[in-house]
Structure 1
Amino acid sequence: MPHRLQKFLLGYSGTSLATGLQVILLPWIALTVVDLPALQLGWVQASVLLPNLVFLLFGGALADRRDPATVSALACIGLVLCHTTLLLVYLLSMISLPILMLYGICLGICSAFLQPARDNLVQRSARQGGGQTSERRVQKTVTWMMLAQYGGQAVGMLLASRFEHWGLQALLLVQIGVLLLAATALISLRANGASRMTKEKITHSLILDGLSQAWRHPVLRELTALMAFNGFVHIGVFLVVLPLLAEDYGRGAGYYATLQLAFVAGTVIATVTMLRRGQGAEPGRGILMCLLYSAALLIAISLGPTKFGLILLCLCWGAVAAASAGLGRGIVQLLAPAEYRSRIISIYQFALFGSAALGALAAGVLSEYAAPLTTLLWAGILSLLAFALVALSGALRRVKITDSEV
């Protein structure tokens, strides 16, 4: 494995591990340390998501105009400052709802700058000897990146499960340490010369220019629309309906954790498989098949499987989700023009996660007036319709990857 790729994966896995810790720690702090009710817990969770969406497109524009290695490393330092401040506040016994919301807002802002800049380093990490890189090598680098992401998050969640034994102080110190290590690895990927980086002021016109570029390209336009659909229907349903199903099955939080771990295991299995076999010459067709498989899985779950059957279906769901995400991010890396890559990555992520928030709300409303299984059935039917529309359009279906250099 090239030395640059090793540094990239070290930095990526470190930031992902810290994210895995954060996903578990923040609600646990709210519930066990501050003793917040459910409604205020929702405010704390939203405080992380909403700034991310507001600043994500701006973060993409910044990474296109500055060295993305520097931007991502500085974002890691920003996260370190967030966690260090919370640690000090905790030691002073001053944690409260306003403090947690401010902490969440700062985390969201730093993440918005980290995500597109970090993903923009794929092409640089895939090169060997500073020369050109092939499309196949970019695809493989994206797969390595996905494995670092899912593996890092899984390790972070497992570490967070030791909350009651290790305490908040130790876990915050782990977050700070891995983020400092990640910042060191990412900053080492800086370009040798800064000639290609301009000092142009970051304005809304740069963001609009990125949106225009994504809209002009039929494949990127179709892929972004499909990711918005996936976020609204699939992620939204996953976030809301899965815990409701765990409650309906009468197995409580332990069973829900098992379903989550099954999903993560599926993502790791799919990513390792893609790493061994490659993403294929027609990744667009692969994304279409993942959409069809998702529809089948949603309809299967809506039929009310056994407790063990639901675990197996969640495993398959995670594998399909990881395959779709890996193929989609590979296409973006290959088709996005270099000068617009970070902006198009941020647009792709904005479509996915922005629609997920709306999808979770819609799934909650539908599940309030109908059974969760009915929500899954409608999600499966909508997925079948989306599959038919994208297949008929053909832009994504016709994408072919060769061994040409990029």
Structure 2
Amino acid sequence: MGYSGTSLATGLQVILLPWIALTIVDLPALQLGWIQASVLLPNLVFLLFGGALADRRDPARVSSMACFGLALCHSALLMYFTFQVLTLPILMLYGICLGVCSAFLQPARDNLVQRSARNRRGQASERGVQKTVTWMMLAQYGGQAVGMLLASRFDQWGLQHLLGVQVGVLLAASILLLSLRQSGPRQQELEKLPHTLILDGLSQVWKHPVLRELTALMAFNGFVHIGVFLVVLPLLAEDYGRGAGYYATLQLAFVAGTVIATVTMLRRGQGQEPGRGILMCLLYSAALLIAISLGPTQLGLILLCLCWGAVAAASAGLGRGIVQLLAPADYRSRIISIYQFALFGSAALGALAAGVLSQVAAPLTTLLWAGILSLLAFALVAFSGALRRVRISDSEAQ
């Protein structure tokens, strides 16, 4: 329930923030890239500290406080919009505050997967962890879908009502996540400074070939795929001239694809070779990016976004499952934060690059280059070998 609540608020934010920038503040493509990057750039500074904090303190308490902080951010924008005209600096400040709170929420919330996967004896099996990861992804994508459906009513309901929904949902999620707290202090490594804890986590990732290669691949995915998605998709929607409803439809098609892929993984499991599955998702992403760069029809773009969502969800689920299984318990939050740092930190840089390229050339050209780079990355990682050799036994893969 808490995971779904935070995801619903994120689904609203994904639509509202760029649409505010394009329609209310009337920003060009380059400045839209700045706005999208402002949400992601704080991950470069605070995400690793968020992982260290969640390893030192109860992650349920950390995630609950982060949800409360997000609710305050949306409340502040609601109050400002009620009395003043929104500007680029205000949206930048709003995005930065959202990014800071999200940096502390993500590793703490994902660490609760292990706690939720425990049986009555307090143990978490590898099969249970994989299944719980998939359930949490379903809660995440389902919540985002509901949020995007609400955001599609932007033209009818207005910004104030939708910001009010975000505040209420996040306050409820904060209470729900706090209910998962455990009594007693966390004892491990309390004497170490935050930067020492972060360096220990980085060392754990570096010395494990699979985690090292997976983290590098996620950094590429963030820069090329998420960065392009955040900037180019709203620009394409605006070019089609269909308003916020069409942009929300594209986002909903993407989320519908994620739900389909997640339900499929829930029924069939993640397979015995999740690393090979991640590589194939990279190849499929390249094909989809090149297809979109050819300029599909309005319906064709919706269908391609559906396929893109399915591929993205499969890749994310397989990657998160590998991290949950291979990360040592004492370092889990830090390794999760490093994984997310690579993904979302590079996405901030990718959003800036996509904004610049789209302004200089065209959004479709940006998609074409992203597809070409994805093909090159697939060839490189396929011949590297560490990730594609990951294997899970039959009893764990279901």
In the superposition, the TM-score normalised over structure 1's length comes to: 0.87
**CA distances 1:80-125 after superposition (whole Å, capped 9, x unpaired):** 233333444455x146545544433322211110011000111110
Query: Is 1:298 equivalent to 2:282 in the alignment?
Result: no
The Cα of 1:231 is off from its aligned counterpart by: 1.4
Deviates more, 1:213-222 or 1:382-391: 382-391
The match for 2:97 among 84, 106, 115 is: 106
Does the alignment pair 1:231 with 2:222?
A: yes
What amino acid is the match of 1:146?
Answer: M
Q: 1:396 aligns with which of 382, 387, 397?
A: 387
Separation in structure 2 between the aligned mates of residue 366 and residue 105 of structure 1, nearest angstrom: 23
The answer to whether 1:324 aligns with 2:315 is yes
Counterpart check, 1:264 vs 2:255: yes
* Cα distance in structure 1, aligned partners of 2:364 and 2:85: 39
User: How far apart, in 1, do the equivalents of 2:301 and 2:358 lie?
Assistant: 18
Q: What is residue 5 of structure 1 aligned with on the other side?
A: none
1:216 has 2:201 as partner: no
Higher mean alpha-carbon deviation, 157-166 vs 384-393, is at 157-166
Q: Which residue of 1 aligns with 2:57?
A: 66
1:304 Cα offset (Å): 4.2
Offset at residue 44 of structure 1 (A) = 4.6
- Consecutive unaligned residues of structure 2, counting only runs of 5 or more, are none
1:211 CA drift (Å): 1.1
Question: Higher mean Cα deviation, 323-332 or 129-138?
Answer: 129-138
| Contact 2:256-2:309 at 8 Å conserved across structures | yes
Q: Conserved in 2, the CA contact under 8 Å of 1:59 and 1:113?
A: yes
Native 8 Å contact 1:66 1:198 kept in 2 = no
In structure 1, distance between residues paired with 2:10 and 2:52: 23
Amino acid at match of 1:184: I
Segment drifting more, 333-342 vs 354-363: 354-363
Match of 1:200 among 165, 170, 191: 191
Correspondent of 2:333 among 315, 338, 342: 342
Q: Which residue of 1 aligns with 2:147?
A: 156
Please list, as runs of the form range in 1=range in 2, the aligned pairs for 1:278-297 lying within 5 A after superposition: 278-297=269-288
Could you tell me the TM-score, scaled by structure 2's length?
0.89
Shift of 1:23: 2.7
Contact 1:136 1:401 in 2 (8 A): no
1:71-220 correspondence runs (5 A)? 71-91=62-82, 93-94=83-84, 96-97=86-87, 99-196=90-187, 199-200=190-191, 202-220=193-211
CA distance in 2, matches of 1:404, 1:311: 36
Q: Distance in 1 between matches of 2:156 and 2:359?
A: 37
- Name the CA distance, whole Å, in 2 between partners of 1:280 and 1:87: 45
Alignment partners' CA distance in 1, 2:295 and 2:76 = 46
Q: What whole-Å deviation, never above 9, does each CA across 1:367-397 have from its counterpart, x for those lacking one?
A: 4555544443333332222222222221111
Q: Distance in 1 between matches of 2:245 and 2:275?
A: 37
Q: Give the unaligned 5+ runs of structure 1.
A: 1-9
Match of 1:313 in 2: 304
Work out the CA distance in 1 between the residues paired with 2:354 and 2:17: 23
Cα 1:351–1:163 shift into 2, 3 Å: same
Residue-by-residue CA offset, 1:221-280 (whole Å, 9 max, x unaligned): 000011111112222232344345456666666544433322221111111111111111
- The AA in structure 2 aligned to 1:226 is L
252-261 or 124-133, which deviates more: 252-261
Q: For 2:282 and 2:32, locate their aligned partners in 1 and report how far apart those are by CA, in whole Å.
A: 33
The structure-2 alpha-carbon separation of the partners of 1:37 and 1:305, relative to structure 1 and needing over 3 Å to count, comes to closer
Amino acid at match of 1:123: Q
Instruction: State the identity as a percent.
Output: 84
Distance 1:397 1:31, change over 3 A: closer
Give the corresponding residue for 1:382: 373
| 3-state SS in 1 of match to 2:214 | helix
Paired letter, 1:294: S
Q: 1:237 to 1:172 in 2, by over 3 A?
A: closer
Q: CA RMSD in A?
A: 2.7
CA contact (8 A) 2:37 2:349 kept: no
| Corresponding residue SS for 2:138 | helix
Residues 208/261 of structure 1: CA separation in 2 closer, same or farther (3 Å cut): same
Q: 1:70 to 1:95 in 2, by over 3 A?
A: farther
**CA distance in 2 between partners of 1:377 and 1:84 (Å):** 39
How far apart, CA to CA, are the structure 2 residues paired with 1:16 and 1:399?
A: 30
Write the distance in 1 (CA, Å) between the matches of 2:236 and 2:31: 23
Tell me the equivalent position of 2:14: 23
Count of aligned positions: 394
Q: 1:16·1:153 contact (CA, 8 Å) conserved in 2? A: yes
Summarize the Cα distance change of 1:68–1:309 in structure 2 as closer, same or farther, 3 Å threshold. same
1:239 is aligned with what amino acid? Answer: L
3-state SS of the aligned residue for 2:389? coil
Q: Distance in 2 between matches of 1:43 and 1:277?
A: 40
Moved more, 146-155 or 111-120: 146-155
Shift of 1:30: 5.4
The AA in structure 1 aligned to 2:346 is S
